[in-house]
Chains A and B, each alone.
Chain A
Amino acid sequence: HAPPRTERMTVDQDWSSVYPTAAAFKPASVPLPIRMGYPVKRGVPPPKEGNLELIKIPNFLHLTPPAIKKHCAALKDFCTEWPSALDSDEKCERHFPIEIETVDYVSAGTSIRNPKARVVTLRVKLSHLNLDDHAKKKLIKLVGERYCKDTDMLTITMDRCPLRRQNYDYGIHLLTVLYHESWKTEMWESEKTEEDMEEYIWENSCSQKNALDTLLRIKASENVSNVTKEELLASEVVKNYRNSVIALKNEGETEGNMSQYKESVKKLLNIQALP
């Protein structure tokens, strides 16, 4: 029988011509002394001739580093450069605020289709959209759970259409509709009660009424001439009190907030520090 080809191979041959594409392992074409398999008792793993384990496993003999470099050199002509002006994430976000995420699936099987491939996720930061105060609050209420307050990111996931392009178009349509609806002011929005408010507003609240009541009564008992509500509101102590109450309600109870509230109440009611 003829000797294997390995005996005629030189050390500096062109390996990419021996294995140009993915092929099974041919022991007569690979000049390496490989052994693979479970060794017999007190023996070594079986040699490469007639070794099924070596044929079964996928080999990367066609993708040696010089071969990869040759392929990439040929493919480099088809690539384009990333614009050098967008070298950081913030610049990308400033100029291109909308992010669209799509997933592709590659696998071997009876069919190449994967039903999960039609899902499209749209992410946008609300600070980049042209919204005023009322429009932003209405949009957040409309959108509900899809808005994350910490990162100011609106995330919409679309998978109700059968094709990816339809889902993408539907997503853009949703964004447009949300944007325009949030700018509209309906008639029933004027019936917004205190429970619907997102943040605490001091004007026209019980806290303001109580404070003004108390101050008026103090002034009346001291028999000072009738001070008007506007003068009281404009005074320093009332403003301090207002700021501390707003801070408490909106940011929660922290050490700094509580001490600020204590100081402002003391100044409002003119109590000296307790011993």
Chain B
Amino acid sequence: DLMGVRLAGSHVDTQEPKTNPLVSISDEPETLYKRLSLLVKGHDKAVLDSYEYFAVLAAKELGISVEKVHKPPKKIERLTLLKSVHIYKKHRVQYEMRTHYMCLELKYLTSSTAAVYLEYVQRNLPEGVAMEVKKTKIEKIPEHIQEPVWDTLPQVEETEVKS
């Protein structure tokens, strides 16, 4: 039975980690996101609660630090319409639309981590739930603002501007 026999030189492979063939590494520097704020809106509070559990667990598994999870108060939009198609002004019917919110704030993500997390979380967004993602990107000051350009320009005679 040769199925379980290990070859002599195979212990070299176990020390190197297996590289995933789907992962490609590019040279461009990663953009850094200081904060990622997810605001999820839905009509049903139970659906949003389950979604919050899923999003927080996914963030923890991927190693993203969750700053805070808070639930802004719900907003109710009410309208009063006529009950009948024609006349009967005194008989109306009232409808209301309740929107529940859930805000998830994540800190310190790189662009690939943010792309992975957002795609995972958005693909599993339940029906009837909307999301707004606010990304705060941090950048260095661009080179052309480091020094004012007037210092480096050659001394030019002041020409007549008015033409």
Contacts and interface: CB of A to CB of B under 8 A. Distances in A.
Nearest to A172: B142
A210 B39 CA distance: 62
Interface in B130-158: 130-142, 144-150
B111 to A, nearest CB: 8
Contacts of A176: 142, 144-145
A99 B137 contact: yes
Nearest to B51: A60
Given A82-B32, A100-B136, A108 B128 contact: yes
Contact of A68 (B54, B132, B133, B144): B54
Contacts of B139: 96, 98-100
B127 A98 contact: no
Contacts of A184: 150
Contacts of B141: 97-98, 124, 128-129
B135 A102 contact: yes
Given A97-B141, A100-B139, A68 B61 contact: yes
Interface size class of B (residues with CB under 8 A): 35 or more
A73 B58 CA distance: 10
Contacts of B22: 77-78
Contacts of A81: 63, 110
| Chain B, interface SS category | mixed
B113 interface: yes
Interface stretch (B68-76, B79-87, B118-126): B118-126
Contacts of B51: 60
B10 interface: no
Contacts of B27: none
A69 B61 contact: yes
B103 to A, nearest CB: 13
Nearest to B130: A107
A180 B133 contact: no
B62 A180 contact: no
A79 B62 contact: yes
A142 interface: no
Chain A contact surface mostly: mixed
Given A72-B62, A80-B30, A57 B47 contact: yes
A92 interface: yes
A89 B23 CA distance: 31
B44 A57 contact: yes
A75 B116 contact: yes
Interface string A66-90: 0011011101111111110011010
Interface in A125-183: 128-130, 135, 172, 175-176, 179-180, 183
A201 interface: no
Interface string B27-46: 00010101000000000101
Contact of A80 (B110, B122, B132, B135): B110
A71 B148 contact: no
A99 B34 contact: yes
Interface in B49-66: 50-51, 54, 57-58, 61-63
Interface of B: 20, 22-23, 30, 32, 34, 44, 46-47, 50-51, 54, 57-58, 61-63, 108-110, 112-113, 116-117, 120, 122, 124-142, 144-150
